[in-house]
Amino acid sequence: MKELALELKHITKTFGSVVANHDVSLDVYKGEILAILGENGCGKTTLMNMIAGIYFPDEGEVIVNGEPVIIRSPKDAFRYKIGMVHQHFKLVDIFTAGENIVLGDASKERFNLNEVNNRVAEITAKYGFSIDPKKKIYEMSVSEKQTVEIIKVLYRNADILILDEPTAVLTPQETRNLFEVLKKMRADGKSIIIITHKLHEVLEISDRVAVLRKGEHIATVDTKDATENSLTEMMVGQKVSLNIERTEPVNSVVRLKVDNLSATDDEGLKVLDNISFEARSGEILGIAGIAGSGQRELLEAIAGLYPLNEGDIIYNNPKTGDTVDLRDKTPLQIRNLGVRLSFVPEDRLGMGLVGNMNITDNMMLRSYRRGKSFFVDRARPKALATEIIDSLQVNTPGVGTAVRKLSGGNVQKVLVGREIAAAPTVLMVAYPVRGLDINSSYTIYNLLNKQKENGVSVIFVGEDLDVLLELCDRIVVINSGRITGICDGRTVTKEEVGLLMTKSHTNHKEVSHE
């Protein structure tokens, strides 16, 4: 029988009125890979942060190697040989990899970076990855940064490693390399906890799977006994056939033509590479892809928020019949051209709404310029706020409540409600149901369908393939900034889309050479 490395008993953690974890008990053995599976917002990360000393549990007990421990800080966590690789890397940008790795290590005061680098070389050789310890973090790629994070933890001789969504930012090739490393670590007797919501990865790499749902621990099962179906069932509760309504597009015409878009990020890496597609009126166009494949940049480029190197965005105005190129226009110029473009961004409180402002003031974010008056008109936004609260059943004390105090679903209703109220001809939504409960999700699907019926061209960026397949008329699949396929939402299979999403890089290079 294997030895227990870590036990969690009856852990509860609340933030204000939000219960992030409720009575969670879990154990991890030595030399195993445990996957923590759950939808976005189910409390996976919060739970792990408590083991890593970032948060302190309100209630419950943590036991390491059979002894109850108190982990108040990451330092305590390291003392118990627990290390966590966060989803958002915690690295000092202007330091070198070596400096970051040695950071916080409590051994002797004078340190010799060469010694550090030798140890790093030792670790990389043992588990099979490569890194240049003298390279500055701000010069590194995402996967290099992740490697630094993992070495950082190993450098401290951690026996329990927690990885928060490590594959979200990796290419399939990089993911495979990572998994090889993890297997070597397991063979070395280390316990690895990997947080993910990708089922195929869970099945591929883990020994056991713990499923969390809405902050509660549902079950832990051996991976060999699990299937995608059984895990999904645990993740979402009883098996829900989505049954999202989908009507045939009527009088569909090309509304927006995206032609050869290319863009690079701050570090000069290509984030959009030759993207071309058409969005038609009266249809929902899905955009599928693993997180960070260029979805955000694509929508922001169309909305006038992301600079393009190449390409055109042609809009056909249904009222006038004119066509305009939206490239290199600011959001304001786009509006002034009479283009009714609404955009529900992924970052709701950081971009779409202002958390500290009340609902009324958030309603007028886009419309406050209306009229010639020097002063803002709050009567109309207030009426709109009341209307949205009523029609979408937003749970709030009133229109004067700060948006940040609302729950995720209600925040999203406010945002989507506002964007739809602008009577758009093109509506772009990014992950509109992320973190929302089932009921709120259906409210959103219905809203989108209604827009479609009204002849709006809806562009829907989603992460849940089942939703994409049931909701969208056509699906554009992007992978590392390139389109790998445009499919008919009614006939394509989940496997086909999945394959297009994860196609390896080498294929693309061949394509791009043509």
Partner 1 sequence: MSILNYLLSSFSIGIIFLLGATGEIVTEKVGHLNLGIPGVMSVGAAGGCVVLQLMYGHNIPGFIIVTVSLLACFISGGLMGLLYSFLTVSLHSNQNVTGLALTTFGVGITKFIMSRLTRIGAHEYLYALEYFRAPFSNMTNSLKYCGVMTFLALAVALYASYFLYRTRSGLNLRAIGESAATADAVGINVTAYKYIATVIGSGIAGLGGLYYIMDYAGSQEAYLSIEALGWLSVALVIFSLWKPHICILGSFVFGLLYIANAYASSILGIQLPMAMTPLIKLLPYVFTIVVLILTSIRKKRENQPPAGLGITYFREER
Partner 2 sequence: MSKQHIEKEPLFHITKREDLPLMYRAGIRTAAIVLAVIVCMILSMILIGINPFKMLGSMFAGSFGTKRRIWKFAKDLAVLLCISLAVTPAFRMKFWNIGAEGQSLIGALASVACIIGLGGKIPNWLLLIIMLLSSVVIGAVWGVIPAICKALWNTNETLFTLMMNYIATFIVSYFLMLWTPSGSSTLGMLNFGYLPKLGHDYFLLILVVAILTIGLYVYLNYSKHGYEISVVGESQKTALYIGINVKKVIIRTMTISGALCGLAGFLIVSALDHSVTTATIGGQGFTAIMVSWLAKFDPIKMALTSFLITFLDQGASQISTDFNIDSAFPSVIVGIIIFFIIGCEFFINYKINFRHKAAKEA
The binding site for partner 2 (CB under 8 A) comprises 16, 56, 69-70, 72, 76, 79, 303-305, 330-335, 343, 345, 347, 350-357, 361, 364-366, 368-369, 373-376, 405
Q: By CB under 8 A, is residue 106 in contact with partner 1?
A: yes
Distance, CA of 300 to chain centre: 16
The three-state secondary structure class of 140 is coil
Distance, CA of 467 to chain centre: 16
DSSP 139: G
CB-based burial label for 95 (10 Å; 0-12, 13-18, 19+):
middle
Nearer to partner 1, 53 or 462 (CB): 53
d(CA 134, CA 373): 58
Distance, CA of 250 to chain centre: 33
Q: By CB under 8 A, is residue 266 in contact with partner 1?
A: no
Which span (69-77, 251-259, 418-426, 457-465) binds partner 1, by CB under 8 A?
Answer: 69-77
- Asked whether the beta carbons of 427 and 447 are under 8 A apart, the reply is no
Q: State the minimum distance, in angstroms, from the CB of residue 42 to partner 1.
A: 16
The three-state secondary structure class of 192 is strand
* Positive or negative torsion for Cα 102, 104, 106, 111: positive
Which span (102-110, 255-263, 345-353, 452-460) binds partner 1, by CB under 8 A?
Answer: 102-110
d(CA 115, CA 118): 5
Q: State the minimum distance, in angstroms, from the CB of residue 56 to partner 1.
A: 8
Q: State the minimum distance, in angstroms, from the CB of residue 95 to partner 1.
A: 7
Q: By CB under 8 A, is residue 92 in contact with partner 1?
A: yes
Look-up of token digits 């701050």: 266
Look-up of token digits 């955000």: 296
332 binds, among partner 1, partner 2, none (CB under 5 to 8 A by kind): partner 2
Q: By CB under 8 A, is residue 73 in contact with partner 1?
A: yes
The three-state secondary structure class of 218 is strand
Nearer to partner 1, 102 or 308 (CB): 102
For partner 1, which residue of 10, 59, 70, 93 counts as binding (CB under 8 A)? 93
Which span (97-105, 190-198, 233-241, 455-463) binds partner 1, by CB under 8 A?
Answer: 97-105
For partner 1, which residue of 34, 57, 78, 418 counts as binding (CB under 8 A)? 78
The three-state secondary structure class of 171 is coil
For partner 1, which residue of 2, 3, 59, 105 counts as binding (CB under 8 A)? 105
Look-up of token digits 């010799």: 112
Tokens of 343: 């955009």
201 binds, among partner 1, partner 2, none (CB under 5 to 8 A by kind): none
Tokens of 447: 């809203």
Query: Binding mask 284-323 vs partner 1 (x if CB under 8 A, - otherwise)?
Result: ----------------------------------------
Which span (47-55, 250-258, 325-333, 417-425) binds partner 1, by CB under 8 A?
Answer: 47-55
111 binds, among partner 2, partner 1, none (CB under 5 to 8 A by kind): partner 1
d(CA 42, CA 46): 9
Instruction: Give strand pairing partners of 458.
Output: 284, 427
Tokens of 122: 């030792």
Q: By CB under 8 A, is residue 136 in contact with partner 1?
A: yes
Which span (36-44, 68-76, 409-417, 465-473) binds partner 1, by CB under 8 A?
Answer: 68-76
Nearer to partner 2, 76 or 180 (CB): 76
Tell me how far CA of residue 121 lies from CA of 84, 111, 128, 138, 180, in angstroms. 21, 17, 10, 21, 18
353 binds, among partner 2, partner 1, none (CB under 5 to 8 A by kind): partner 2
d(CA 126, CA 344): 46
Nearer to partner 2, 15 or 453 (CB): 15
- Chain contacts with partner 1 (rule: CB under 8 A): 15, 52-55, 73-78, 84, 86, 90-95, 99, 102-111, 136, 138, 152
